[in-house]
Chains A and B, each alone.
Chain A
Amino acid sequence: MSKPTDYELYEQIRNKDKTALETLYNRYEKLLYSFAHRMMKDQQAAEEVMQDVFIKLWRGKGAGQYVKERGKFSSWLLTITRNASIDLIRKKKAQEVEWDQRDSMNEEMPGVEEVVTDKEERDQLRKAIDTLPDEQQRMICLFYFQGLSQREIAEKCEIPLGTVKGRVRLALKKLREHLDEKGGTTDE
């Protein structure tokens, strides 16, 4: 029996096939958990994110509904995982102190508090982000990892609202360039 495609599994999940959900879970646990962990910097919070994602998927309504126009299934899964993470960050943040500008980038950047493992050297993202100018690092941190709104970013960085989009785009683009360079040389 050949392995079912993601989409086939998704269709079965829509028909409330528990085994299909389990199979899909096994397939993506590592990727999604790693991602959530990176976003949340916390094991328990990352697990909460996983729960949220799979509950949405199982319910199959609203955000948990995949259509092929959304692109690759795995990208879509990562998108809803990112959204679930941002959502939880917001909820948790509501109880926490305001982002402090004096905090170093490292403190806010996900990943640094994690225990160093033998996988550490594969953390090319961390390295690539580090090579960016501070301002670009900050854009990625605030937009991508913390999911802030345009207005919040403008306020925190004290820049005009109209310039935020351009700066975020530039930062993401530069990051991508660095990743592509490194990707070819260090991995595998």
Chain B
Amino acid sequence: MNEKQCENVLDYLNEQLTEKEREEFEQHLRECPDCQAEVQELENLMGGIPAYMKEATPPAGMRERVLNDVFKDEENEHKNETEEKQAPVLSPKKPNKWKVWAGALAAGLLLSVGGNIFAGLQLQQLSSQNEDLESNLSDLQVALSKLEDRESENGDTMTPTERTQLASTGEAGSGVATLVDRNIGSELLVQVEELTQLEGDQVYQVWLIEGENPEPAGAFTTDGEGNGAVTFRIDEENQKSWDAIAITKEPKPNNQLPEGEVVLQAEL
């Protein structure tokens, strides 16, 4: 057993052990003078190397980028991938496609009203049959948020895979949508400005569209100047080849299909 542990020195130094293996090895390390000496020797040998490396000149602006990201990270905001103010005056490439889409949406909406009533009935039955449903759900949510916490601690790097300007359909407003790959799935970041003011329960709703099927991808409200932003996580299993993104003004939050008019849009 111990001899086996002694074979982990290299993988320990290269952080190739799982958390459990590492803990076991560290435990072993405290008791094994041979391994202590070996780790120390290798660390010393490795530690001397950087001093002989050639100097490289940091790219311009790196300091600001790194430090900004560090401090932003603290606020737990990953909006930094989106761009600062730009005023895109891009018109959609194929406006006709949008008319078709809007038609399909209207049809889909009618279907969904019927569907929702049916689903609602089923849900009632389900919940009366299963009183644990809610507590199960909250357990799941706790587990999920723990997972998310752990994930955010990993400090994974993000690379924007797709970035697109959102064009206004007539009213004021502009925005940027960025798709960012994460370790698990990807994340959609949307940032808008100069949208018209919302009233009452209204929200701006983001939709990702595959073919003719829109899926809700986060909602937001705007500040006094019409600025807003939202991030939306796309799980690996929900990963699709999205054709377009749209933002509509919805009369109420949590619509599963769009009712309101499209205010910003872009093809992906």
**A contact residues vs B (CB 8 Å cutoff):** 16, 18, 21-22, 25-26, 29-31, 33-35, 37-38, 43, 46-48, 50-52, 54-56, 58-59, 61-62, 71, 75, 78-79, 82-83, 86-88, 91, 111, 114, 117, 119-120, 122-126, 128, 143-144, 147-150, 153, 161-162, 164-165, 168-169, 172-173, 175-176, 179, 183
Contact = CB atoms under 8 A, between A and B. Distances in A.
Contacts of A128: 52
Contacts of B42: 168-169, 172
B53 A123 contact: yes
Given A47-B66, A55-B73, A35 B50 contact: yes
Q: Considering the complex of A and B, which 5 residue pairs feature the smallest CB-CB distances, nearest first? A: A123-B54, A37-B56, A172-B45, A125-B52, A149-B16
B63 A31 contact: no
Given A59-B155, A119-B54, A122-B54, A51 B7 contact: no
Given A111-B54, A114-B56, A47 B47 contact: no
A61 B58 CA distance: 27
Nearest to A164: B10
A149 B10 contact: yes
Nearest to A45: B157
B161 to A, nearest CB: 12
B54 A34 contact: yes
A43 B59 contact: yes
Main secondary structure of the interface of A (DSSP, over half): helix
Given A33-B56, A119-B55, A122-B54, A173 B45 contact: yes
30 contacts: A29-B62, A30-B55, A34-B53, A51-B65, A51-B66, A51-B70, A52-B155, A55-B69, A56-B155, A58-B70, A58-B71, A78-B47, A88-B157, A91-B157, A119-B54, A120-B54, A124-B52, A125-B49, A126-B54, A143-B14, A147-B15, A149-B16, A161-B7, A164-B10, A165-B38, A168-B10, A169-B38, A169-B45, A176-B45, A179-B48
B47 A75 contact: yes
A143 B69 CA distance: 31
Given A33-B56, A47-B62, A123-B54, A165 B48 contact: no
A86 B15 contact: yes
A148 B54 contact: no
B53 A83 contact: no
Interface of B: 7, 9-11, 14-16, 38, 41-43, 45-50, 52-59, 62-63, 65-67, 69-71, 73-74, 153, 155, 157
Contacts of A117: 54, 57
A64 B78 CA distance: 20
Given A16-B74, A34-B50, 7 more contacts: A18-B71, A38-B54, A55-B155, A144-B46, A144-B49, A172-B45, A179-B49
Contact of B7 (A25, A33, A34, A165): A165
A124 B59 CA distance: 23
Contact of B157 (A18, A51, A75): A51
Contacts of A34: 50, 53-56
Nearest to A91: B157
Nearest to A47: B62
A38 B70 CA distance: 23
Contacts, number: 141
A58 B73 contact: yes
Contact of A51 (B9, B58, B69): B69
Contacts of A122: 54-55
B67 A22 contact: yes
A87 B119 CA distance: 46
A159 to B, nearest CB: 13
A67 to B, nearest CB: 13
B49 A175 contact: yes
Nearest to A146: B14
B46 A172 contact: yes
Of A61, A169, A183, most buried by chain B (CB within 10 Å of CB) is: A169
A111 B50 CA distance: 13
Nearest to B61: A47
B11 A150 contact: yes
Contact of B53 (A21, A38, A183): A38
A156 B46 CA distance: 22
